[in-house]
Amino acid sequence: MSPAMLAMTDGEANDVLHDNDDNDESLYQKGVRHLCEKPISKVPGKYILPIEERPLPAKPNSGRAPLISLPVVDFSELMSPSGRPAALVSLAKACENYGFFQLVNHGIPSGVIAGMIDGSTRFFEQPYEERAKYMSSDMTSPVRCGTSFNQSKDRVFCWRDFLKLTCRPMAQVLPHWPHSPVDFREVASTYAQETNSLFLELMEAVLQSLGLKPRPLEGEGGSIMKQFEEGSQLMVVNCYPPCPEPDLTLGMPPHSDYGFLTLLLQDQVQGLQIQHREDWVTVEPIHGSFIVNVGDHLEIFSNGRYKSVLHRVLVNATRSRMSVATLHSLPYSCTIRPPPELVDEANPRRYMDTDFASFLKYISSCEPKKKNFLESRKLAT
C-alpha cells in the first residue's frame, strides 16, 4: 500500500482499494491475510466475481443454500469381515450418486488431527515475510505458498491463501517443508503418513466395490495396490480469512479434484458446498470425520461409474476457516485408464488415457474452471 494510502482513514483507503485496486497487482499476489492486516470493510475489485458467478441462493427467495447430510461410511465396518459387504455397498452408492461421503471411525488419533489444524493455523498467523519464503509460481515445486486458485491465470482472485506440500517420497521432500513453526514438519509429516495409510485401506475397498481384485493371486498379474503404495500425495492447507462482503466472492471457485480420492479435514466452520442435482448445497460437517470425494482420475479409471463432483468454498464475515486436503493418486509417471474388466460393448471407453503431466500442462495453459480438464479427456460416444 502506498504512503499516501497509509495516511488515509480506513474508510478512505477502502474506497480507493475498491475502485483502483488493479493499479497495485503486487498487493494481491501477497495473499488475502496480508491484504487484511489492515482492517478493510469492502472487498477489493480484484476479488469481486461477475454477478452470475457469485454465491447466490440456490433458488429465488430461499435464503442460503440448504444443508446436506452426506452419506456416511463407517471405516470400522469396512475393516470388519462381517460388516464389509454392507459397507462396500454404501461406499459404491455414495461414489455413484454423490461423489462425496463422510468417513467416520477412521482410526486416526484425535491428537494428530488437532495438531495438524493447530500447526496450520500457526503457520498462517506468522508474519508475511515468513510465508513469502515459500511463495512460488512453479507448479512442480515440492513446497508452494500462494493465494487464489491459480494466481497466474485467474481473472478474479478467490478469498484463499494456501500452502501446498508434496508428500512423497517423504525423505526427499521433508527437508524443503517449512521449518517454522518449529514443530510444523513433525505434525504435518505425521498427519501425511496417517492419511496416506488411510487412503490405501480406503482405495482397496473402492477397487473391491468396483468388482476388481485389489491384490490378485500370485501369477494373475501385478497388483494395482502396489502402484498406489508408491503413488502421489499432495497436501493442501487452506486458509480462508474473514471477508467483509462474503456474497461477492468465493474461497474457491467451482472445481473438481484431479486425483483418485481427496481426504478433507476441516474445522467446524461451514463453507464447503457441493453441486447435487444441479443445486448448490452446504455440507454439514460431522465432528472428527473426514469428507472424502471422488477425483477425476477415479472417474476415468472407473469408466464413468464413480463421479467427480463440482464443489466450491464459501467465506464468511466473522470467522476464519481452515481446512487440509490430501489428494491421492497413482505415481505421477503412471497412465490413468480403465481396467479391461470395466470396459465392454455396453460400457465403451469414455475417456482418453491421461497422466499428471497432461493435467499440469492443461492447468498451466488456462484458467481452471469447473470440470474442464475432465471434459477435455472425453471420447466421442
Q: For 95-110, how does the pLDDT look when each residue is reduced to its tens digit (9 = 90+)? A: 999 999 999 999 999 9
Write down the pTM of the prediction: 0.89
- The mean pLDDT value for 287-292 works out to 94
- The mean pLDDT value for 73-81 works out to 97
* pLDDT given at position 373: 83
* pLDDT given at position 24: 57
* pLDDT given at position 169: 95
Residue % of the chain over a pLDDT of 70: 87
Give the domains, in start order, of the chain with CATH numbers.
Answer: 60-376 (2.60.120.330)
* pLDDT given at position 369: 63
Question: Using 50, 70 and 90 to split pLDDT, how confident is the model at 38?
Answer: confident
The DSSP code sequence of 72-109 is EEEHHHHTSTTTHHHHHHHHHHHHHHTSEEEEES----
- Backbone phi and psi for residue 153, each to the nearest 5 degrees, phi listed first: -120, -20
* pLDDT given at position 7: 36
Classify 207 as helix, strand or coil.
Answer: helix
Question: Using 50, 70 and 90 to split pLDDT, how confident is the model at 8?
Answer: very low
Q: Is the peptide bond before 181 cis (omega within 30 degrees of 0)?
A: yes
Question: Using 50, 70 and 90 to split pLDDT, how confident is the model at 94?
Answer: very high
Question: Using 50, 70 and 90 to split pLDDT, how confident is the model at 361?
Answer: confident
Decide if 276 contacts 94 (C-beta within 8 A).
no
DSSP assignment letter at 242: -
- In the sheet that holds 72-74, the strands lie side by side as 72-74, 100-104, 290-294, 261-266, 321-329, 232-240, 161-166, 143-147
Question: Using 50, 70 and 90 to split pLDDT, how confident is the model at 9?
Answer: very low
Q: Please report how the helices 184-209 and 110-125 are oriented relative to each other, as an axis angle in degrees rounded to 10.
A: 130
Q: Check whether 216 has a pLDDT greater than 80.
A: no
Give the whole-angstrom CA distance, residue 322 versus residue 167: 19
Question: Using 50, 70 and 90 to split pLDDT, how confident is the model at 365?
Answer: low
* pLDDT given at position 364: 66
Question: Using 50, 70 and 90 to split pLDDT, how confident is the model at 317?
Answer: very high
Strands 143-147 and 161-166: antiparallel
Number of neighbouring beta carbons within 10 Å of residue 87 = 19
Q: Check whether 380 has a pLDDT greater than 60.
A: yes
DSSP assignment letter at 28: H
| Selected residue with higher pLDDT from 364 and 13 | 364
List residues bridging with 327 in a β-sheet: 234, 262
Number of neighbouring beta carbons within 10 Å of residue 3 = 6
Q: Check whether 16 has a pLDDT greater than 70.
A: no
**Mean pLDDT, all residues of the chain:** 87
Residue % of the chain over a pLDDT of 90: 69
Least confident of 169-178, 241-250, 333-342, 369-378: 369-378
- The mean pLDDT value for 338-358 works out to 91
44 CB-contact burial (10 Å; exposed 0-12 / middle 13-18 / buried 19+): buried
Q: Check whether 347 has a pLDDT greater than 80.
A: yes
C-alpha cell at 51: 454477478
* pLDDT given at position 306: 98
* pLDDT given at position 370: 74
Cα 328-334-335 angle, rounded to 5 deg: 105
What tens digit of pLDDT does each residue of 151-175 get? 777 889 999 999 999 999 999 999 9
Q: Check whether 5 has a pLDDT greater than 80.
A: no
Decide if 273 contacts 280 (C-beta within 8 A).
yes
